[in-house]
Amino acid sequence: MDASGSTTTTCPARRPLDPAMERHDLLDFGAGYIQRSIDELPKRGEAWPWCPRMYYVSDLLSIRHGALVDSAMEFRRPHAKPD
């Protein structure tokens, strides 16, 4: 974002669902309050980026060295200030 001068990013529209992608519960957690609301919670996919790794080292490497490019995201520069 620094290289392009962008200060904000948004994802204006949700991607269409891929019918071929299997969906799994985001949390593998047996607590009653989770299990009672499991159908209302977000789902995850089978592979990255739709399947969170929850592993610090790989997340750190991805953040530091991975590309922050996604066709669904819009990067914006600050608006010009009026005179």
Q: Is residue 8 part of a domain?
A: no
Q: Is residue 5 part of a domain?
A: no
Q: Is residue 66 part of a domain?
A: yes
Q: What pTM, to 2 d.p., does this model score? A: 0.47
Burial 42-70 (b: 16+ CB within 10 A, else e): eebeeeeeeeeeeeeeeeeeeeeeeeeee
Q: How many domains does the chain have?
A: 1
Per-residue pLDDT tens over the stretch 13-54? 666 667 787 888 888 889 999 999 999 998 888 876 777 777
Candidate from 5-9, 22-26, 58-62, 75-79 with smallest mean pLDDT:
75-79
- Cα torsion 73, 58, 49, 9 to 10°: value is -10
Structural domain harbouring 34: 20-70
Q: Kindly indicate the confidence band of residue 73, based on its pLDDT and cuts at 50, 70 and 90.
A: confident
Q: Is residue 31 part of a domain?
A: yes
pLDDT at res. 83: 53
Residue matched to tokens 């608006």: 79
pLDDT at res. 37: 93
Q: Is residue 51 part of a domain?
A: yes
